[in-house]
Amino acid sequence: MLDLFGRRAYNDRVNDDVKIIVLRTDRGEGKPGADTDLYGRTLEQWVVSAMRGMETETVDYKDGDDFLCVVRNKLSTVKPITVVLYSDTPLVTYNAVASAVAKFRKLDVDVMKLPRGWVMRTEYAFGASELKADKKTIAGDEDFITVFNYNQLAYVADILRSRITYYFMNEGVEIEDPASVFIGVNAVIEPGVKIAPFCTIKGNTVVRSGAEIGEHCVIESSVIDSGARVRSSTLKGAYVGKNVEVGPYAHLRTGAYICAGARIGDYVEIKNSRIGAGSKVCHLAYVGDAEVGARCNIGAGVVFANYDGANKRRITLGDNVFVGSNSTLVAPLEIGEGAFVAAGSVVTENVNAKALVICRAATNVKENWKNNKYTSESRKQTASDTGANNGDPV
């Protein structure tokens, strides 16, 4: 899991006597809440995840609730120091809270006010009727920015986006324009990856070293293996193997598994299908619920007709199958190794290995067809009246 908060600086032993209580703030409809998502974490999760090394518990809280009553229900008798934070401060860091606790110890007071939150002696919190801060700590400018509305949410999101992208760049990921790239916290991107502008990478995505993500990609919960290149495409729940080329304008849906060296090109959609090593699906094709062997060629305009209106059925192609342009393969169907499907065919029956299949209606040409309404004399006259013959639109 992505760690933006200085993992190497954590020292569990220093703060093992501290308990963190995070108040889940709720401002009602039309306002960001504790469960509002930012790059794969809720506002609450951003706060909780930053407190690694310290015991942390959350509790619901609304403006107007009895603060001390809510806090007392979560106090720990074995933790002499209690820190109260709010779920609406997603930029808070471990270091900011640890520094505040260190200052609190040095001052030897009962209560210290944070810009948004409190540090207090647990014994004092058990018996106090109200909180009166003895001291106030000054934290960094970003640490306790509070999200009260969607304007502030957008402001905070921009800071988090920057933290994430610069984290990856420090780890060796080349991001050409970090201001235009959005990466979720659950993504794993290895050093040596290149990311072009205007990309979104989210969910449990893994991008291996040596892969390239081109402009205008949306990638969610997918694996991009080393040497692969993805350009201007959308991927969700897909696997892209080594040295595969995807795009531009491809759509790989859940269950798309593209083996090494394959090519998925312009305006191709693939769903719940395995494309064998070295195979090509280059133009304007739909492949659904299929097993395509190695070194196959799927021509432009090919459709795998996998749905009969009630059930999804499978289509299987052996290795080295050639499917000509504008063909339709109707499931369930098996096409043997080395078979050749002629362009424009509608294949509804299994095809043996190394066979040629041609499934077209015979060409029937009628010369000087008199019933052609498009070129009739009456239509020509109408077109002339509207100025069509002068190049004007009809």
Q: Is the peptide bond before 115 cis (omega within 30 degrees of 0)?
A: no
Catalytic pick from 283, 295, 313, 379? 283
Residue 283 annotated in active site: yes
| Percent helix, strand and coil across the chain, each to the nearest 5 | 20, 30, 50
Calculated CA dihedral for residues 212, 263, 231, 160, nearest 10 degrees:
-50
How many other CB atoms are there within 10 angstroms of residue 141's CB atom? 9
Tokens of 153: 């949410």
- Rounded distance between C-alpha atoms, residue 255 and residue 291, angstroms: 11
Phi, psi (rounded to 5 degrees) for 36 = -65, 130
For tokens 């999101």, name the residue.
Answer: 157
Q: Where are the alpha helices (DSSP H) in the chain?
A: 43-50, 67-72, 94-107, 122-127, 150-170, 377-385
Strand ranges, E, within 190-285: 194-195, 199-202, 206-207, 212-213, 218-220, 223-224, 229-230, 234-236, 239-240, 245-246, 251-252, 257-258, 263-266, 269-271, 274-275, 280-283
Answer whether 271's CB lies under 8 Å from 287's CB. Answer: yes
Residue 12 burial by CB count (10 A; 0-12/13-18/19+): exposed, middle or buried? exposed
Answer whether 272's CB lies under 8 Å from 254's CB. Answer: yes
Catalytic positions, please?
283
